[in-house]
Structure 1
Amino acid sequence: MKLSQTPITTHSYNGVSFHLKRDDLLHPHFSGNKARKLMRLLELEDASITHLIGYGSAQANSLLSLAALAEMKGWQLEFYVDHIPHWLKENPIGNYRQALALGAKVIPVSDVTDEDLHPEAYIKAYRLSDNCLFVPEGGRSTIAEAGIALLAKEVLVWKTTEQVNNLVVALPSGTGTTALFLHKHLKQHGIEVVTCACVGGTEYLISQFEELGEQCFPTILEMDYKHHFGKLYRADFEVWNALKESTGVEFDLLYDPLMWHCLSRWLPKNEDKSLLYIHQGGLIGNESMLPRYQRKFGA
């Protein structure tokens, strides 16, 4: 199973040339930043572990990656959610559908307790035991550093081999774990990492960085308007379509458009920089996002 050495290709978008690290090609179910974050767990040898425990949205990319990891390791995934939409139960799609096919148990907290608890609080109260391995939402944990350090090493080798000057690495952030550890391992080599806050704003993203115990952060790009996570924006759909048409590569509909909006403002002021964009996968989520966009804005 290949979890490293993904190709780097060169493309053009809006008249700007950029390089693309194709981490979406790591594994059909276990790709992008989630595969990098969970690499240490894939290598873990502990016969006492029987259950993998996680939480988040019923359509989260992390759900499918954790389901794939559990299936590979012979563990049972219990993934706790606040709720599962009725329509999704009736017509499973995207990450939820594929996770169920891999044997995951997706459990609304209200099904297992009468207490009004957040999924994380329920897990910490009732599902932490010696045979359970707990992974925080989105893989936001120090266990992620090893896999992301390997990604940073691949970037450095490519930069040296291809003699790329003034390199800047760009990627969008949910919890910010990947951007933070890439910055940690690339800053000493003079490589800037730029990101944007897709879930919450800049202050929320910085708080996520701080919870991982780091003091030096990547550059956070911002737009001059509030961008609500999961909301459908015509401009996002247009950017996504334009990227696909320009590059021949499908990007994630939830995170990548906002990052490219930010980069469209950043690039004209940084024409001397060589841009490497990290493709973090998440394409299974497009299975549910794309029909929503098409219903609202047309094909």
Structure 2
Amino acid sequence: MKNLFSNETVPTVQVELPFSSGVELFIRREDLLHPEVSGNKFRKLKYNMEAAEVGGYQQVLTFGGAYSNHIAATAAAGRILGVQTIGVIRGEEIKDNYQDNPTLKKAAEDGMRFKFVTRTEYRMKDSVAFLARLEEEFGDFYLVPEGGTNQAAIKGTEEILQEEDVVYDYVCCAVGTGGTIAGIINRSFAHQQVIGFPALKGDFLLDEIKKYTTKENWTLQTGYHFGGYAKYNADLLQFIGDFERQTGILLDPIYTSKLLFGIFDLIERGQFKNKSKILAIHTGGLQGWNEKIK
């Protein structure tokens, strides 16, 4: 475990805003935690892989789509730690040409075995009967849910914030399954407001987040999903390019660009207190995006 999860120190950099404002914006570079298992995936997998090791499991099984950051990170972690990984992939139609997909090609090279299922079957991923069939097919495995969010993952994402982060008034992050923001909320200070920027449509995230935290110092900004999960437009791609040129920091089109786009918009609209400090969490998610988007 130490070879993968030993380096947990990442820089926090200030971003010079391209417009006048009364606030300061900083970015926590969680994307630099590890070249393959970066950002929130590093945090979520840390204690899950430890639990698998302690439990004596020889293989880890998880779920994801064709371009899943979680699938890629789990496969890489398995290779590094010497643990067999199994990915249950949404979309049976890509079974015969998955090598054309950069994420799945790399996961396979990292030793991950795949089971491709229909979208109807995939919706059963949490059912006891479906999991029993997977166990019958693959044998005993340690289960990591889609997106990696469970109690072990929350323990990891709680480590994103540290004592020195007390200086920030707001902590902002992108939201997928809710595990990252839940950990941040749990570790946040009483005076802080935690703001989540969902990358997908739907109000279900409120209930998901409440499963893992009892604090109430958080809100979701639901107006920056750009049409839903994995949806984007020319304005967002322009923002990604401009942001990289101005800061040298690359954002992905699924999560972190929507986060920063939203923060910039809220700052310009005066939604943050004057003279406040904002900490944005760069959760990674950069794998495969050059091949898919550019």
Q: What TM-score does the superposition give when structure 2 sets the normalisation length?
A: 0.84
Matched, 1:280 2:283: yes
Structure 1 residues 53 and 227, CA gap change in structure 2 (3 angstroms): same
In structure 2, the CA distance between the partners of 1:102 and 1:41, relative to structure 1 (3 Å rule), is same
- Distance between the aligned counterparts of 1:247 and 1:42, measured in 2? 34
Q: CA separation of 1:244/1:212 partners in 2, compared to 1, >3 Å: closer, same or farther?
A: same
Shift, 1:240, TM fit:
0.9
* CA distance 1:25–1:225, change in 2 (3 Å): closer
Find out whether 1:72 has 2:80 as its counterpart: yes
The separation in 2 between residues aligned to 1:193 and 1:265, in whole angstroms, is 17
Change (3 A) 1:223 1:117: closer
Deviation at 1:273, TM superposition (A): 1.6
Alignment of 1:241 with 2:241, yes or no, is yes
Is contact 1:10–1:19 with CA below 8 Å preserved after alignment? Answer: yes
Give the structure 1 partner of residue 140 of structure 2.
Answer: 131
- TM-score, structure 1 normalization: 0.83
Q: What is the aligned partner in structure 2 of residue 198 from structure 1?
A: 199
Match of 1:41 among 37, 44, 48: 48
Which of 13, 22, 30 pairs up with 2:17? Answer: 13
**Shift in Å, 1:125:** 3.0
Is residue 106 of structure 2 the alignment partner of residue 60 of structure 1?
A: no
In 2, are the aligned partners of 1:180 and 1:217 still within 8 Å (CA)? no
Aligned length: 277
Tell me how far apart the structure 2 counterparts of residues 133 and 62 of structure 1 sit (CA, whole Å). Answer: 15
Q: Which amino acid aligns with 1:7?
A: P
CA RMSD of aligned residues (A): 2.6
Change (3 A) 1:246 1:70: same
Which residue does 1:290 correspond to in 2? 293
Letter in 1 for 2:257: P
Deviation at 1:84, TM superposition (A): 5.4
Q: Is the 8 A contact 1:198 1:258 kept in 2?
A: yes
Identify the range of structure 1 (124-133 vs 166-175) with the bigger mean alpha-carbon deviation. Answer: 124-133
Contact 1:175 1:199 in 2 (8 A): no
Structure 2: gaps of 5 or more residues? none
Structure 1, gaps ≥5 residues long: 292-299
Q: Tell me how far apart the structure 2 counterparts of residues 200 and 168 of structure 1 sit (CA, whole Å).
A: 23
- Which string of whole-angstrom CA distances, capped at 9 and with x for unpartnered residues, describes residues 174-215 of structure 1? 011111110111143x222111111223x1211221344646
Structure 1 residues 224 and 56, CA gap change in structure 2 (3 angstroms): closer
Distance, in Å, in 2 between the alignment partners of 1:215 and 1:143 is 19
Change (3 A) 1:216 1:285: farther
Match of 1:181 in 2: 183
Task: Determine what percentage of the aligned residue pairs are the same residue.
Answer: 20
